[in-house]
């Protein structure tokens, strides 16, 4: 009754509120039990502000985001669905606080059955001290909820500075939470969609599909911009005679970024210009000292709140030489970026930075962005192959319409000067006749057997469009005589097209000293008749292209090598793959200091993790006879001396993630990395145990003892991910279930600066919804890296058998790929999704963002756990995709969907192959690492003992959990 009277009182006192708003939470004491903190440590209690009873939000002071979760179901869900267009939250920010939240995010998940993300939005509200109404404009997905469902609302409050999120430490307050506004009846459009320019109908300036995505002249557009954690700020300004957005870099981030949405009508404009050319107008102020010269455009699919990388491209040209004043940055988008779906939502990332001497000094001065436009990419042809440019005044007298009434004139169309052909609207075929003799004929014959390629531009409003393309040839040396005619097989669209004609044998056999005419006919043919063309269209160049045979020698050599490989026994095949991977770690090195290149590029810096893998690989190579024992010992000694003597830059026993190959100094503004130092020292311990009783062993021991693990905790129990001299410790910690458990393990086992064993128990071991302890990254290397060194077979701690846990993760990884839309390229054997290069750069590829990229090292390095599946994958990859085999063996990654093979090898991935295979064949790396007394100490402190529990999870741990689903299995039955 009490709740009913409160509701009636609200309606009677404020009848407009009942009609306009739907109250979801009144922030009363009876509701406190529903509040959750989403693992951020936030607490909530009742308080009073300016005479109002409110909820006090008390941040943990440690989490980068302060969060609040609230259930939305039954009566609250019904109220929400009455007005789901916006959600409003009353927030009081105390004026006395040193730091109040500045960014506000609302997320939504469906918890009716398994937890499933719905979508999320940021608020555009600029909050001030005092009372604020934070408005969230919900997406279409957030408005289409099931009335009988169960949902969770997730609110995140935080501050973003210089690419980091300093934890909030002071309380703030919440009053009512409500929703209002009807859901739109049609598809969602951007909140501040820039108006599209009218399409020009003049044949002299066709604009069929290209248009302006952003004018950057309105505050509404500025509100949509995001700095992608780089600390850049955006302000509307006027510069160079026009309005523009000022991008003010943080002065600390190595890259300055501007992210902006692409959705609704914008996606349609984008798709209509396939292949897309995007241009960004950029103004550089006079006197700018540090001028950006590198420009990158990235794209991510954010449909339904699930972020998934699409691809990225560098500008054309790259690098760019900017001048003071207005410049135009041009991007020719990739195949993957052009495959947008009109119903999806995307984010574009405009990234700029200065690259000099292998470093990226942070930008400190503003630049300005004006209009961002798209148009169809203008095709390009080799100048030497052109028969006609269709842009040269000297060609005009040569054009003839062959009595079809067409007229010709030059015109500018998106991307290039072209020939405009205007049909007379009556002739069934529109024709263009061109003479072919002299130098043009010689060029034609030189390319035969080859093709003639004609660039054709069709305006989108053209109706009808030509759908049949004919080319004839006549001999006019003496009397007119027909040679032959051919049709081109072409499906055309609005924008640029390339029509390819393959001349017949008669056309290829004409006399070099003769004179000929080419006749091009364009028409629209239906089942019944030909329909006259009436609208102008455009030609951008006619070129010849010689038929190019693939270089047989390289192809044959590769095929022979693959056949030889596949003819080997399983152990023979694995050793060959392992040897090639080791060659990278042995050859891509500075022999004076032992630093190993991060990737196989001459200008690549060193990765200290790759150095660790190289050290662990030396005993393997000696045992296989690939190198002599003395060679291996001297390489290990040189490497460890460089680190122990201070020739490699570091602090408190930790070393910088990336180092200059020659000097050993920090590069790329990289961090003192706790995990990469861990991988380095793990490799050092392996080498130390192999060369026991030598200087190598002493140096490995010294380097381990030098590491001040306690310092890296920053006065907490768990390790931070790193430290930078510019800003101190990184906010993120190794507290999740991922590769960081190896760092935590070695930190606990330290003989000099151990951290508390509590850190092991603080690892977030989430089991639902997959039945095994899973990593939120959902990428395979996080499960493999610790187990490349730690031999945990037959062992369990208080939580799980981590080998069986890794096997479940491997099954999940494999099955997710083979059930994806890209399965046609891989089923039934090929699999492996992990961190690697991909067509757009480098990322931790996830099973929840599959784009067709496979990382061979992921399946091969898993061979100790899933030998049959891994060997089947290895043989399948080599059989179906022989192009992935090269200098150092298996390519780092490949994507058959976009016909891409990664050009670089990566040191850490090559290392995973060497160690993973060796543990399967001999267990050598496991034996050496586990022989360390420090590792045995850590095993004891973390509570490992014989595995006495059924299944993956420790039986006591499993008993504390509810409704644990079955884990993935090899047959994929338990993988959703």
DSSP-H helix ranges across 87-241? 140-143, 219-222
pLDDT of residue 492: 85
d(CA 880, CA 830): 9
| Number of residues that make up the chain | 976
CATH at 474: 2.60.120.260
pLDDT of residue 210: 60
Predicted confidence (pLDDT) per residue in 262-312, tens digit: 998 888 888 777 667 889 999 999 999 999 999 999 998 888 877 878 888
Q: Counting beta carbons within 10 angstroms of the beta carbon of residue 42, is it exposed (0 to 12), middle (13 to 18) or buried (19 or more)?
A: buried
Quote the number of domains for the chain.
Answer: 4
Domain membership flag for residue 1: no
Predicted confidence (pLDDT) per residue in 857-871, tens digit: 999 999 999 999 999
Predicted confidence (pLDDT) per residue in 212-254, tens digit: 899 998 888 999 999 999 999 999 999 988 899 999 999 999 9
- How many Cβ atoms are within 10 Å of 693's Cβ, its own excluded? 8
What number of H helices and E strands is found in the chain?
26, 48
pLDDT at 199 exceeding the cut of 60: no
pLDDT of residue 163: 60
354 and 403 fall within a common domain: no
User: DSSP secondary structure string, 442-456?
Assistant: HHHHHT-SEEEEEEE
Between 35-49, 790-804, 934-948, the lowest mean confidence (pLDDT) is in: 35-49
Distance spanning both ends of the chain, measured CA to CA: 45
pLDDT of residue 202: 34
Domain end position, chosen among 496, 512, 546: 546
Domain membership flag for residue 861: yes
Give the mean model confidence (pLDDT) for residues 464-485: 94
DSSP-H helix ranges across 567-708? 570-587, 608-624, 629-644, 674-690, 695-706
Give the mean model confidence (pLDDT) for residues 899-905: 91
pLDDT at 209 exceeding the cut of 80: no
pLDDT at 724 exceeding the cut of 60: yes
Between 138-147, 878-887, 933-942, the lowest mean confidence (pLDDT) is in: 138-147
Residue 414 binned pLDDT confidence (cut-offs 50, 70, 90): low
238 and 275 fall within a common domain: yes
Domain membership flag for residue 194: no
d(CA 67, CA 36): 8
158 and 228 fall within a common domain: no
Domain membership flag for residue 973: no
533 and 608 fall within a common domain: no
d(CA 112, CA 676): 41
180 close to 88: Cβ distance less than 8 angstroms: yes
Between 159-173, 477-491, 820-834, the lowest mean confidence (pLDDT) is in: 159-173
Domain membership flag for residue 7: no
Predicted confidence (pLDDT) per residue in 337-383, tens digit: 888 888 889 999 999 999 887 788 999 999 999 999 987 766 666 66
pLDDT of residue 962: 83
pLDDT at 603 exceeding the cut of 50: yes
Domain membership flag for residue 969: no
Take residue 941 and report the two structure tokens written for it.
């402190």
Q: Counting beta carbons within 10 angstroms of the beta carbon of residue 925, is it exposed (0 to 12), middle (13 to 18) or buried (19 or more)?
A: buried
Predicted confidence (pLDDT) per residue in 583-595, tens digit: 999 999 999 999 9
pLDDT at 951 exceeding the cut of 80: yes
142 and 277 fall within a common domain: no
- Give me the half-sphere count of Cα atoms (radius 13 Å) on the Cβ side of residue 221: 22
Predicted confidence (pLDDT) per residue in 511-526, tens digit: 999 999 999 999 999 8
Dihedral through CA 605, CA 608, CA 609, CA 613, nearest 10?
100
d(CA 433, CA 693): 86
Domain end position, chosen among 493, 525, 546: 546
pLDDT at 496 exceeding the cut of 80: yes
Q: Counting beta carbons within 10 angstroms of the beta carbon of residue 553, is it exposed (0 to 12), middle (13 to 18) or buried (19 or more)?
A: exposed
Among 551, 627, 543, smallest CA distance to 585 is for: 627
Mean pLDDT rounded to a whole number for the chain: 88
908 close to 588: Cβ distance less than 8 angstroms: no
- How many Cβ atoms are within 10 Å of 757's Cβ, its own excluded? 18
pLDDT at 336 exceeding the cut of 80: yes
The alpha carbon dihedral of 104, 308, 313, 658 has a sign of positive
Residue 196 binned pLDDT confidence (cut-offs 50, 70, 90): very low
Predicted confidence (pLDDT) per residue in 773-782, tens digit: 988 778 999 9
Percent of the chain with pLDDT over 70: 92
pLDDT of residue 551: 52
pLDDT at 190 exceeding the cut of 50: no
- How many Cβ atoms are within 10 Å of 702's Cβ, its own excluded? 15
Q: Is 439 helix (H, G, I), strand (E, B) or coil?
A: helix
d(CA 744, CA 942): 10
CATH at 951: 1.50.10.140
244 and 296 fall within a common domain: yes
Domain membership flag for residue 562: yes
590 and 716 fall within a common domain: yes
Domain end position, chosen among 341, 361, 376: 376
Helix, strand, coil: what percent of the chain each, to 5? Answer: 30, 30, 40
Percent of the chain with pLDDT over 90: 64
Per the DSSP assignment, residues forming a β-bridge with 260 are: 348
pLDDT of residue 554: 67
pLDDT at 5 exceeding the cut of 90: no
Between 32-46, 145-159, 367-381, the lowest mean confidence (pLDDT) is in: 367-381
d(CA 787, CA 741): 10
Task: Give all strands (DSSP E) within 749-831, no chain letters.
Answer: 795-796
Q: Is 661 helix (H, G, I), strand (E, B) or coil?
A: coil
Give the mean model confidence (pLDDT) for residues 548-563: 70
d(CA 43, CA 41): 6
92 and 171 fall within a common domain: yes
Residue 925 binned pLDDT confidence (cut-offs 50, 70, 90): very high
d(CA 454, CA 466): 14
515 and 628 fall within a common domain: no
784 close to 916: Cβ distance less than 8 angstroms: yes
533 and 562 fall within a common domain: no
Domain membership flag for residue 227: yes
Angle, alpha carbons 250-361-322 (nearest 5°): 90
pLDDT of residue 20: 44
The alpha carbon dihedral of 566, 568, 574, 580 has a sign of negative
Take residue 260 and report the two structure tokens written for it.
């902006």
Per the DSSP assignment, residues forming a β-bridge with 281 are: 328
Domain residue limits at 656? 556-960
pLDDT at 183 exceeding the cut of 70: no
- Calculate helix-pair angle for 570-587, 907-921, nearest 10 degrees: 140
569 and 494 fall within a common domain: no
Give the mean model confidence (pLDDT) for residues 321-343: 88
Burial 97-120 (b: 16+ CB within 10 A, else e): eeebbeebbbbbbbeeeeeeebbb
Cα distances from 884 to residues 342, 860, 867, 881, 904, in angstroms, run 34, 14, 21, 6, 11
DSSP-H helix ranges across 32-119? 74-82
Dihedral through CA 207, CA 211, CA 215, CA 221, nearest 10?
160
pLDDT of residue 776: 79
3-state secondary structure 518-572: EEEEEEEECCCCEECCCCCEEEEEEEEEECCCCCHHHHHHHHHHHHHHHCCCHHH
pLDDT at 416 exceeding the cut of 80: no
pLDDT at 618 exceeding the cut of 60: yes
The alpha carbon dihedral of 50, 53, 57, 58 has a sign of positive
317 and 387 fall within a common domain: no
756 CA to centre of own chain: 36
């Amino acid at each position: 009754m009490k709740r009913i009277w409160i509701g009636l009182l609200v309606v009677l006192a404020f009848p407009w509120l009942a009609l306009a708003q739907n109250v979801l939470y009144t922030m009363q004491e009876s509701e406190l039990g529903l509040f959750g903190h989403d693992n951020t440590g936030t607490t909530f209690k009742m308080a009073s502000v300016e005479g109002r009873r409110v909820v006090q939000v008390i941040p943990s002071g440690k989490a980068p985001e302060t969060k609040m979760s609230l259930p939305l179901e039954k009566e609250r869900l019904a109220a929400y669905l009455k007005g789901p267009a916006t959600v409003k939250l009353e927030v009081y920010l105390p004026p006395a606080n040193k730091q109040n939240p500045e960014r506000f995010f609302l997320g939504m998940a469906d918890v009716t059955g398994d937890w499933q993300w719905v979508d999320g939005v940021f608020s555009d509200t600029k909050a001030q001290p005092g009372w604020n109404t934070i408005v969230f404009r919900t997406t279409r997905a957030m408005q289409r909820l099931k009335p009988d469902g169960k949902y969770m609302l997730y609110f995140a409050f935080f501050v973003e500075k210089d690419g980091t999120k300093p934890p909030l430490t002071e309380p703030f307050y919440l009053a009512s939470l409500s929703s209002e506004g009807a859901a739109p009846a049609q598809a969602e459009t951007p909140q501040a969609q820039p108006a599209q320019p009218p399409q020009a109908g003049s044949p002299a300036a066709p604009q069929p599909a290209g248009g302006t995505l952003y004018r950057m002249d309105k505050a509404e557009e500025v509100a949509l911009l995001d700095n992608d954690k780089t600390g850049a700020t955006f302000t509307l300004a006027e510069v160079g005679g026009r309005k523009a957005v000022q991008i003010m870099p943080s002065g600390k981030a190595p890259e300055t970024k501007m992210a902006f949405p692409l959705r609704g009508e914008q996606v349609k404009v984008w798709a209509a210009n396939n292949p897309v050319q995007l241009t960004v107008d950029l103004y550089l102020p006079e006197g700018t000292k540090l001028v950006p010269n590198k420009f990158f455009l990235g794209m991510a699919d954010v449909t339904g709140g699930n972020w998934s990388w699409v691809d990225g491209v560098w500008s054309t040209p790259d690098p760019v030489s900017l001048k003071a004043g207005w410049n135009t940055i041009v991007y020719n988008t990739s195949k993957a970026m052009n495959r947008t779906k009109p119903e999806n939502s995307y984010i574009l990332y405009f990234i700029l930075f200065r690259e000099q001497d292998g470093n990226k000094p942070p930008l400190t001065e503003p630049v300005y962005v004006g209009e961002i436009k798209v148009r169809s990419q203008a095709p390009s042809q080799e100048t030497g192959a052109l028969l006609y440019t269709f842009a040269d005044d000297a060609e005009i007298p040569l054009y003839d319409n062959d009595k079809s009434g067409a007229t010709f004139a030059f015109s500018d169309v998106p991307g290039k000067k072209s020939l405009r052909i205007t049909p007379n609207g009556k002739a069934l075929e529109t024709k263009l006749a061109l003479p072919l003799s002299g130098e043009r004929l010689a060029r034609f014959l030189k390319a035969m057997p080859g093709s003639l390629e004609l660039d054709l531009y069709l305006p989108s409003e053209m109706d009808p469009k030509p759908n049949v393309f004919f080319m004839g040839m006549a001999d006019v040396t003496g009397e007119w005589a027909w040679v032959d005619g051919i049709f081109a097989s072409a499906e055309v669209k609005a924008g640029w097209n390339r029509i390819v004609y393959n001349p017949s044998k008669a056309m290829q056999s004409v006399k070099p000293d003769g004179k000929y005419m080419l006749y091009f006919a364009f028409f629209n043919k239906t089942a019944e008749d030909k329909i006259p063309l009436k609208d102008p269209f455009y030609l951008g160049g006619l070129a010849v292209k010689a038929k190019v045979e693939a270089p047989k020698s390289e192809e044959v050599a590769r095929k022979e090598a693959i056949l030889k490989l596949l003819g080997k026994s399983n152990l023979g095949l694995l050793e060959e793959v392992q040897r090639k991977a080791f060659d990278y770690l042995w050859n891509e090195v500075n022999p004076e200091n032992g630093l190993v290149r991060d990737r196989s590029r001459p200008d690549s810096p060193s990765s200290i993790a790759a150095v660790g893998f190289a050290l662990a690989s030396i005993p393997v190579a000696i045992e296989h006879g690939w190198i002599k024992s003395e060679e291996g010992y001297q390489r290990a000694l040189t490497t460890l001396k460089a680190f122990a003597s201070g020739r490699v830059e570091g602090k408190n026993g930790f070393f910088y993630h990336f180092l200059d190959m020659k000097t050993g100094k920090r590069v790329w503004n990289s961090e003192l990395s706790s995990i990469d130092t861990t991988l380095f020292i793990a490799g050092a311990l392996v080498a130390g145990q192999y060369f026991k009783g030598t200087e190598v062993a002493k140096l490995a021991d010294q380097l381990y003892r030098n590491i001040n693990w306690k310092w890296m905790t920053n006065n907490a129990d768990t390790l931070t991910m790193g430290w930078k001299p510019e800003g101190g410790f990184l906010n993120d910690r190794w507290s999740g279930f991922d590769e960081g458990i190896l760092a935590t393990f070695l930190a606990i086992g330290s003989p000099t600066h151990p951290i508390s064993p509590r850190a092991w128990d603080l690892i977030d071991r989430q089991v639902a919804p997959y039945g095994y302890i899973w990593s939120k990254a959902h990428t395979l290397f996080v499960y493999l890296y610790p187990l490349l060194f730690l031999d945990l077979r037959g062992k369990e701690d208080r939580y799980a058998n981590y080998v069986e846990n890794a096997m479940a993760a491997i099954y999940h990884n494999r099955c997710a790929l083979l059930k994806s839309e890209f399965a046609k390229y891989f089923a039934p054997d090929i699999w492996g999704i992990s961190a690697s290069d991909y067509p757009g750069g480098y990322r931790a590829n996830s099973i929840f963002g599959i784009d067709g990229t496979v990382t061979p090292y992921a399946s091969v390095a898993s061979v100790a756990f899933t030998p049959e599946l891994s060997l089947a994958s290895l043989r399948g990859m080599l059989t179906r995709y022989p192009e992935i085999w090269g200098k150092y063996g298996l390519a780092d990654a490949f994507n058959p969907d976009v016909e891409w093979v990664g050009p670089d090898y990566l040191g850490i991935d090559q290392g995973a192959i060497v160690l993973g295979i060796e543990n399967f064949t001999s267990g050598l790396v496991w034996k050496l690492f586990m022989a360390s007394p420090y590792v045995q100490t850590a095993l004891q402190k973390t509570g490992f003992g014989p595995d006495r529990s059924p299944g993956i999870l420790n039986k006591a741990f499993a008993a504390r959990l509810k409704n644990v689903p079955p884990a993935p299995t090899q047959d994929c039955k338990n993988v959703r």
